[in-house]
Amino acid sequence: MTDRVVLAYSGGLDTSVAIGWIAEQTGAEVVAVTVDVGQGGEDLAVVRQRALDCGAVAAEVVDAREEFAAGFCMPALRANARYMDRYPVVSALSRPLIVRHLVDAALRHDATHVAHGCTGKGNDQVRFEVGIGALAPWLRVIAPVRDSGWTRDKAVAYAQERGLPVGVTHRSPYSIDQNLWGRAVETGFLEDIWNAPIAELYSYTQDPGLPRDPDTVVITFDQGVPVALDGETVTPLQAIRELNRRAGEHGVGRLDLVEDRLVGIKSREVYEAPGAIALITAHQELENVTVERDVARFKRSVDQRWAELVYDGLWFSPLRQALDAFVDETQRHVSGEVRLVLHGGKAVVTGRRSEASLYDFGLATYDSGDTFDQSLARGFVELWGLPSRLAADRDRRLG
């Protein structure tokens, strides 16, 4: 029986050329799999047909938008996941979902290999291959771009020689990856980290400096998940889409970041994540109202580690799953409403309320109605500072 290779197919030049190249080099049949995670752009029916026209024996398009929103974006939201405290793990978050569907396709088609179009300098090679190894360690991986020294010129020549239906006359100066949770742009003139971003880089957001009226939105959460916008019930997918639109109109979620890649180098990335940033901002504020102090302090370290694990391609690791159990417990009371004002590139919290609130007006107020017994404070301060005072006395005694 002829071997089969399942290829993560984007519809672009590299993965289109990879179909024929893999067949020529290995004699295997290629099954192209495209996973829709809300990347937009080209009609995926066209992408599927292109894969067949390039020589794939089968081509599948998986609509995974609802799955991505509920099963990946929502856990990231509940963990307030931002790598290096800024990047909301846009590309990293989609890779384990794509991997899952690649492995499912490999099982259905009795494939022996999975292939991807990643380079050797990026993080995605790790995310794909570590994920595949966790779910189906018997599958072998082919990485033509990384392992065969492909260049764009070679890929273009290959496509032209074989008459492949891939447009190669226009070359974008940037590398772009996008999905429902956000958009990432790199390479080109951005590789000089002194160069400022320019308007043409952006697609999900408008210029935050343009004059416009502020937009106020009330987000309702149930156990850390958005369930309504301005009182209208929404699914996770609808919540992200609507906030991408509304926050994007005000330029919310633009990031210009030099980040630490998993492979050990620093890279400059420009991100747009209007919906993600708006939701995380609101969610964090609701946690401030509903999560007990010591749990909240510990959760901040868990959030950071969670984001690092996802960025580093370890979605399927035991540690990420264990951290999820902790995050789930912390979200039991993260229900209520947060009011955001979207304007001038910012999402600003202006109101919060919850039936599970730990905020006590009587304890917090300095006016009439104050129920805080201030007479208890003197003894508390004495005991709280006692260890430090004892240590200071010792240090003075020993000179």
**Domain boundary residue, one of 117, 148, 171:** 171
Say whether 372 sits in a helix, a strand or coil: coil
The CA-CA-CA angle for residues 393, 397, 399, to 5°, reads: 115
Is residue 124 annotated as part of the catalytic site, yes or no? yes
**Residue 248 vs residues 92, 170, 213, 244, 276: alpha-carbon distances, Å:** 21, 28, 14, 5, 10
Catalytic residue among 36, 140, 146, 175: 175
Are 116 and 83 in the same domain?
Answer: yes
Tell me the pLDDT tens digit for each residue of 235-291. 999 999 999 999 999 999 999 999 999 889 999 999 999 999 999 999 999 999 999
Span 297-309, mean pLDDT? 98
Are 132 and 192 in the same domain?
Answer: no
pLDDT over 60 at 191, yes or no: yes
Is residue 86 annotated as part of the catalytic site, yes or no? no
Residue 298 domain-assigned? Answer: no
**Residue 377 vs residues 219, 367, 369, 382: alpha-carbon distances, Å:** 37, 18, 18, 9
Residue 246 domain-assigned? Answer: yes
124 marked ligand binding residue: yes
117 marked ligand binding residue: yes
Tell me the pLDDT tens digit for each residue of 372-391. 888 888 999 999 999 999 99
CB 253 within 8 A of CB 90: no
Are 184 and 282 in the same domain?
Answer: yes
Say whether 8 sits in a helix, a strand or coil: strand
pTM for the model stands at 0.94
Is residue 312 annotated as part of the catalytic site, yes or no? no
Span 308-332, mean pLDDT? 97
Tell me the pLDDT tens digit for each residue of 164-187. 777 654 456 778 899 999 999 988
248 marked ligand binding residue: no
- The pLDDT assigned to 276 comes to 98
The count of structural domains within the chain is 3
Are 245 and 217 in the same domain?
Answer: yes
Are 166 and 210 in the same domain?
Answer: no
Catalytic residue among 95, 246, 320, 352: 95
Are 373 and 279 in the same domain?
Answer: no
The CATH number for 270's domain is 3.90.1260.10
Percentage of the chain surpassing pLDDT 90?
75
The CA-CA-CA angle for residues 170, 174, 179, to 5°, reads: 105
CB 182 within 8 A of CB 90: yes
State which residues form the domain around 11: 4-171
The CATH number for 370's domain is 1.20.5.470
Q: Quick one: which of 31, 30, 28 has its CA closest to 60?
A: 31
Are 71 and 159 in the same domain?
Answer: yes
- Residue pointed to by tokens 């292939």: 115
Which strand (E) or helix (H) includes residue 26?
A: helix 13-26
Catalytic residue among 4, 14, 48, 268: 14
pLDDT over 90 at 371, yes or no: no
Are 181 and 44 in the same domain?
Answer: no
85 marked ligand binding residue: no
Residue 268 domain-assigned? Answer: yes
Are 71 and 184 in the same domain?
Answer: no
CB 350 within 8 A of CB 341: yes
Whole-number mean pLDDT of the chain? 93
- The pLDDT assigned to 161 comes to 76
Percentage of the chain surpassing pLDDT 70?
98
Are 213 and 239 in the same domain?
Answer: yes
Which two three-digit tokens encode residue 39?
């990347």
- The pLDDT assigned to 278 comes to 98
Which two three-digit tokens encode residue 198?
């320019």
CA atoms within 13 A on the CB side of 177: 18
- Strand arrangement, sheet containing 266-272: 175-179, 182-186, 266-272, 254-260
- The pLDDT assigned to 169 comes to 47
The CATH number for 83's domain is 3.40.50.620
82 marked ligand binding residue: no
Tell me the pLDDT tens digit for each residue of 61-117. 999 999 999 999 999 999 999 999 999 999 999 999 999 999 999 999 999 999 998
Is residue 95 annotated as part of the catalytic site, yes or no? yes
Residue 392 domain-assigned? Answer: yes
